[in-house]
Amino acid sequence: MNTDHHSSDQERSRSTTAPERSGERIVRANGVDLCIETFGDRSDPVLLLIGGAASSMDWWEDEFCERIAARGRYVVRYDLRDTGRSVSYPAGAPGYTGQDLAGDVVGLLDVLGAPSAHLVGISMGAGIAQRIALEHPQRVSSLTLLSTSPGGTGGPDDPELPPPADHVRAMFAEPAPEPDWSDRDAVVESMVEELRAFGGTHPFDATRLHRLVGRIYDRTTNIAASQTNHWILEDGEPIRHRLREIDVPTLVMHGTADPLFPLSHGEALAREIPGARFLPLEGGGHEFPAVDVWDVVVPAILDHTAG
């Protein structure tokens, strides 16, 4: 289902206050408006970053993107539907499926004029990347999969893989009340505290995260939808049984202290994709690469995409 229909109950609850960054632009891809930003030389190989659920492009931090682009990659990050400045829908009623999110990536490659790209996905984004490698293999130069599970699922009902940590299961069983989405301070505090629950053993940099989440709040069209809709999407057919069909170079990186998908999820994923390389991230949680692991993650991505 590809639609960008807007309804009155989906109006912004507030005006965004962050200035639009100079490199951002809205493009029409897969029938919807998506916000993208690029780094580096357009003549270099395309490396497309796919965020996790409820995550705008901001989580792929500026310096992270710049470090990769400086070494000869054309880095593209984008706001998934319902995040940042991309198309948004009423909170609780996403007008699209998980399959459409995969279609958006292919549509972005069309817009960029890129026959294929190195896909770097995290969590749900890594599940999207796995699906694209199966359904559109000619568009994928390589896969880098972070903090995910075979087929991108592997939740608490998967009998073959360990469940989330007790504190995460408790949080899912009794979720905290929603904040007042119009209250910037309350929303930022709520989001940062949720991040704390998914962290690993590295020091939790609350100051940095408050600043980053504040930026996300300020440039997100509908913050309630951004934090709601990805969790209730219908997905396509399961793909785990097909992972052996993936025949592009694959790197799996996984935090050793991931409380949502314990380490064996990443190990299983690397086993099930032929020839995949596995790189554990010591002390890493279920989180976008933090500054203290960039010296591991960035060289690994550059090495993996050098071909």
Please identify every residue annotated as catalytic: 123, 258, 286
Residues 95/3, Cβ–Cβ less than 8 Å: yes
The set of residues, in sequence order, having a beta carbon less than 8 Å from that of 103 and lying 6+ positions away, is 2, 30
**Apex CA 306: angle with CA 43 and CA 137, to 5°?**
80
Cα(181)–Cα(109) distance, integer angstroms: 33
Kindly report the number of other CB atoms within 10 A of residue 274's CB atom: 12
Residues 141/248, Cβ–Cβ less than 8 Å: yes
> Token pair for residue 172?
């899912």
Cα(100)–Cα(94) distance, integer angstroms: 11
> How distant is the alpha carbon of residue 300 from its chain centre?
18
For the residues of 5-71, what is the DSSP string, one character each?
Answer: ---GGGS-SS---SPPPTTEEEEEETTEEEEEEEES-TTSPEEEEE--TT--GGGS-HHHHHHHHTT
Residues 129/119, Cβ–Cβ less than 8 Å: yes
Cα(125)–Cα(98) distance, integer angstroms: 10
Partners of residue 233 on adjacent β-strands: none
Angle between the N-to-C axes of helices 124-135 and 98-112, in degrees from 0 to 180, rounded to the nearest 10: 70
